[in-house]
């Protein structure tokens, strides 16, 4: 049965729209695959270390010559790469922090991209479908004043496709701060509509992916 790798990266466990919509996708996925497997990583509850020199150099040193630090760093990258390679589909939930992704998600990407294995022209994960739920407090859609400030989905599209060769699909709930920021009070109806659409998309995309993988 199919395996889903589910990554959450929001610092908040309550009130996080990216977690909420990702959970909707996962619930539908599990309904479609009751005997399937879900590998889950909560990067806020269990953060990964940032990439170190030991982790990088370990790839160029024979295992027998690894220092203890290289051995530990290499083992972590092996585990993370193995999880990605095992997955038939990937689900990533991320907010936008300071116009881009959380550093916890960047750390996962840096650890899991191994050139000559998962990364590069002969990527071992090429073609794997990944659904990204990227929530935004405001709106960064085309034509809005802050369109050029959007470095979350733009970055993820480039790194996930360009480095890992994954097939990326986005779900983008916007205006998530409308109910907590008085200055955005007049945008609450639009925020609610965007959130509702995101949940509908999550269900539809999970169902469509199930059909595709079953073919």
Tens digit of each residue's pLDDT (9 = 90 or more) over 100-147: 999 999 999 999 999 999 999 999 999 999 999 999 999 999 899 999
Mean pLDDT of the chain: 96
Q: pTM higher than 0.75, yes or no?
A: yes
Helix axes 188-214, 17-32, angle to 10 degrees: 30
Cβ-proximal residues to 160 (8 Å cutoff; 6+ apart), any chain: 130, 132, 166, 168
The two beta strands, 89-95 and 129-135, are parallel
Q: How far is CA 65 from the centre of its chain?
A: 34
- The whole-number average pLDDT for the span 141-167 is 95
């Amino acid at each position: 049965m199919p395996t889903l790798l589910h990554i959450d990266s929001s610092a908040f466990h309550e009130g996080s729209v990216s977690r909420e919509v990702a959970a909707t996708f996962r619930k539908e996925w599990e309904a479609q695959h009751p005997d399937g497997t879900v590998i889950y990583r909560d990067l806020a509850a269990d953060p990964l270390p940032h990439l170190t020199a030991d982790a990088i150099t370990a790839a160029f040193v024979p295992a027998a010559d690894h220092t203890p630090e290289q051995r530990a760093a290499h083992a972590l990258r092996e585990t993370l790469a193995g999880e990605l390679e095992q997955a038939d589909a990937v689900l990533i939930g991320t907010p936008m922090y300071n116009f881009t992704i959380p550093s916890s998600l960047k750390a996962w990407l840096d650890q899991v991209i191994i050139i000559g294995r998962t990364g590069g022209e002969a990527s071992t994960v090429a073609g794997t479908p990944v659904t990204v739920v990227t929530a935004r407090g405001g709106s960064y859609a085309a034509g809005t004043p802050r369109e050029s400030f959007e470095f979350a989905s733009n970055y993820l599209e480039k790194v996930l496709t360009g480095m890992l060769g994954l097939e990326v699909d986005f779900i983008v709930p916007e205006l998530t701060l409308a109910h907590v920021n008085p200055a955005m009070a007049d945008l609450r109806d639009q925020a609610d509509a965007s959130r509702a659409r995101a949940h509908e998309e999550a269900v539809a995309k999970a169902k469509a992916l199930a059909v595709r993988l079953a073919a």
